[in-house]
Structure 1
Amino acid sequence: MSAPAEAGIAGRSPDAPVGIGIVGCGAISGQYLATLNTLDGVRLVAVADLDPARAEAVAKAHDGVRALPVPDLLADGAVDVVLILTMPAAHAEVALQAIAAGKDVYLEKPLAATTAEAGAVLAAAAERGVRVGCAPDTVLGTGIQTARRTIDDGLIGRPISATATMMTPGHERWHPNPDFYYVPGGGPLLDMGPYYVTSLVTLLGPVVSVIGAASRTHDSRLIGSGPRQGELIPVSIDTHVTGVLVHASGAVSTMVMSFDAVATVSANIEVHGERGSLVVPDPNHFSGDVKLFRLDGTAWETLPESAGYRNSSRGFGLADMAGTPEGLEPRAGGSLAFHVLEVMESLLRSAGTGHSIPIVSTCLRPEPVPLS
């Protein structure tokens, strides 16, 4: 992937790579590290972690990368963008520190633990004149982007509805320390929902209201692997969430996110229009087959890739932001991430009250990604 010629970091030469500093060297960092080494236009220069040994290990494995304390990384002139890969509870705190230092920030999803914290991040960034980007960037791959182009080209006619389904029996079956999935801030919606809601907004536009319902099947979960195998952990949140999203376009999406089911044979996302139906690949991945059934057709047809970044992986959203011309909202931008967070937070609130909740925020439908 090559960044556009006019990069978006104020004061930088368009030909200079954007310096990236990572805060948080946990498990997810490995996926970003593998990608950053392959991307034009960005260069990893520093890493930081609460565990200095973990940061040192990353630095030793990557030529020219320095392990620094967080304050030093934020003050480093070689760092243009701070990539925040901490636990979600720390996202806002670290982002605000980076913004105060004049850095652009890109965060692993979600943008923050709450919309109140996320709003503070966006307000601080606007005041300081820096940009905010946020995962997921899976929507920039050929899977979601080909589906989007199919809709934009009118092949299904006016979109009427969509379904988004994620069914799993729970992450405790494989994760050695799954506690955080079953406390406030966790659960199937906040864990996996960003992939699905971001995809639905990319495909159908912003959401204006939601109504949700939720349940909890078990009050405890049994850890299935690792040194804590066999240990019971408490469950303090709902683990099956369903909801209806009304889009500004008039389309209506139905979501089911569950840690209580075994499996599903249904598509991860389907979009239905007046002239056709579309099967959209798993939004947790960057690619996959897009299938179309036309109104007068006789079978599903697999569409060729027609849009999106080929062979993409975590970090493409960061590079896309770094190459976005100054003054333009990145495709994986802060306003989109805030809108997605408000949709999810409102679904959970609606599940508790039984009432439809209007969505206050909105966002631009991100610009499409040409096939590249």
Structure 2
Amino acid sequence: MTGPLGVAIVGCGTISHQYLANLTAFPGVRVVACADIDPERAREVAARYGVPVAVAPEEAISHPDVELVVNLTIPAAHASVALAAVRAGRHVYNEKPFTVDRESGAELVEAAAAAGVLLGSAPDTFLGAGLQTAARLVAEGSIGTPLTALTLLQTPGPESWHPSPEFLFQRGAGPLFDMGPYYLTALVTLFGPARRVAAVGRRARRERVIGSGPRAGTRFAVEVPTHTAALLEFAAGQAATMVFSFDSPLCRAGFIEITGTEATMEVPDPNAFGGEVRLRRAGDDEWVPVPTTGSTAGRGLGVLDMAQAVREGRPHRATGELGLHVLDTMLAVAESAERAEFLPIGSTCPVPAPLPEDWDPHAVRFG
């Protein structure tokens, strides 16, 4: 096929607005349908973004003009929705986490390979200007040999602002599985795949209270650790110290530092597409900013790169293998915290190729 790639959005919750704002503006894709288990929500979102069709998820997956399904359902539904789309011959891009367990993730990767379709996974923030610039600096040797990383995410938790936060405190979420994919994906794209991990986890409260929206004041159960600290070793020998917490009154997020033999690099927030990259070499009194190049368009870059890969017959970058390795690593972190021991990480993945520095998502067209 030629022309813009036909896309269906399945799951019209909060995150869908960030995707739709971009995907409806990229000439390389055409959003054909919005779908949700709540028909009214699908209609409202479709109308807001000028999408012609609002249907149930199964109808969107089988729509004749849909070539790629963007799966924005809750984590517990990622595997089943994606597998249905793959079996229907559709390419699939899953929101993070890839799935909620290794078995369903591996089944999905195998099914996509057997069906001859592409499989992608969020986050695609590593395709933004900030992390692409950081990756080029590492590859060019600007910090010498990479040795270690420090990452930090501390917030009070999303229940204060999210109108329906319960799923963020259920299996497949919590700070590790909700925010960990951004930090781990960034490190894997900079260092390569992880090898083993040791971790501790804590749950500060068994209940939380919704702080905004029509259900403000509603209490709900917390099912997962809300603070996780991990020591991670990579296959190439680097080490990372990582903290993921929803228990801190002090909000500190987006912190990544990479230390090499020649310099330390301050990496932008991995939950953003832009940001400043700074270097500090031995003897420097101050951080030195490095100009960034690339796109800051936002969520959907991974979908567009997949569309381009489909049309050009080349590999894409935000792959299912990368998403599965990040999931495997997070599961190993959680299991290590439960068992109080170092655990190996059994999976691996290829490191994504860099984007061309002049890649412009608004200039990608087909036919």
Question: What is the TM-score normalised by the length of structure 1?
Answer: 0.92
Q: Which residue of 1 aligns with 2:363?
A: none
SS of residue paired to 1:260: coil
After superposition, the Cα gap between the structure-2 partners of 1:79 and 1:347, relative to the gap in structure 1 and judged at 3 Å, is: same
In structure 2, the residue matched to 1:93 is 80
Deviation string, structure 1 residues 307-339 (Cα, Å, up to 9, x no partner) = x3x232111110011112666432111000000
Q: Distance in 2 between matches of 1:23 and 1:88?
A: 13
Equivalent runs, 1:1-372 vs 2, <5 Å: 12-13=1-2, 16-63=3-50, 65-263=52-250, 268-306=255-293, 308=294, 310-324=295-309, 328-372=314-358
Structure 2 letter corresponding to 1:332: A
Out of 212-221 and 85-94, give the one that drifted further. 212-221
Alpha-carbon shift at residue 233 of structure 1 (Å): 2.5
Cα separation, 2, equivalents of 1:253 and 1:113: 23
Q: 1:359 is matched by which residue type in structure 2?
A: I
Alpha carbons of structure 1 residues 340 and 304: separation in structure 2 relative to 1, 3 Å: same
- Structure 1 residues 327 and 351: alpha-carbon distance in aligned structure 2, compared to 1, 3 A threshold: farther
In structure 2, what is the Cα distance between the partners aligned to 1:72 and 1:47?
Answer: 10
Structure 1 position 62, deviation (Å) = 4.0
**Any conservation in 2 of the 1:19–1:43 contact (CA below 8 Å)?**
yes
Secondary structure, counterpart of 1:324 in structure 2: helix
Residue of structure 2 in register with 1:5 after alignment: none
**Does the aligned pair in 2 maintain the 1:35–1:314 contact within 8 Å?**
yes
Amino acid at match of 2:250: A
SS of residue matched to 1:257: strand
3-state secondary structure, aligned to 2:315: coil
Number of residue-to-residue matches in the alignment: 357
Cα deviation per residue 1:193-215 (whole Å; 9 max; x = unaligned)? 00000001011111011111111
Query: Structure 1 stretches of 5 or more lacking a match?
Result: 1-11
Q: Is the 8 A contact 2:153 2:254 kept in 1?
A: no
SS of 2:296's partner is coil
- Cα deviation digits, residues 33-61 of structure 1 (max 9, x gap): 10012212111111211111222223333
Q: Which runs of 5+ in 2 are unaligned?
A: 359-367
Describe the shift of the 1:59–1:237 C-alpha distance in structure 2 as closer, same or farther (beyond 3 A).
closer
Structure 1 counterpart SS, 2:336: helix
Matched residues in 1 for 2:41 and 2:205: separation?
35
SS at match of 1:371: coil
1:155, 1:276 within 8 Å by CA — same for their partners in 2?
A: yes
1:65: Cα distance to partner?
A: 1.9
Q: In 2, Cα distance between the equivalents of 1:265 and 1:89?
A: 28
Give the TM-score taking structure 2 as reference length.
0.93
> Which one is further off, 337-346 or 43-52?
43-52
Structure 1, 92-101 or 67-76: larger mean CA deviation: 67-76
- The letter of the residue matching 1:337 is G
Per-residue deviation at 1:265? 5.8
Tell me the C-alpha RMSD between the 2 structures: 1.7
Q: Which moved more, 1:167-176 or 1:201-210?
A: 167-176
Q: Identity rate of aligned residues, in percent?
A: 45
Query: 1:61, 1:161 → 2: CA distance?
Result: 45
How far apart, in 1, do the equivalents of 2:30 and 2:221 lie?
A: 42
- Does the 8 A contact of 1:267 with 1:279 survive in 2? no
Amino acid at match of 2:5: V
Q: Which moved more, 1:107-116 or 1:213-222?
A: 213-222
Distance 1:133 1:112, change over 3 A: same
- CA-to-aligned-CA distance 1:68-89 (integer Å, 9 cap, x gap): 3333322222111011111111
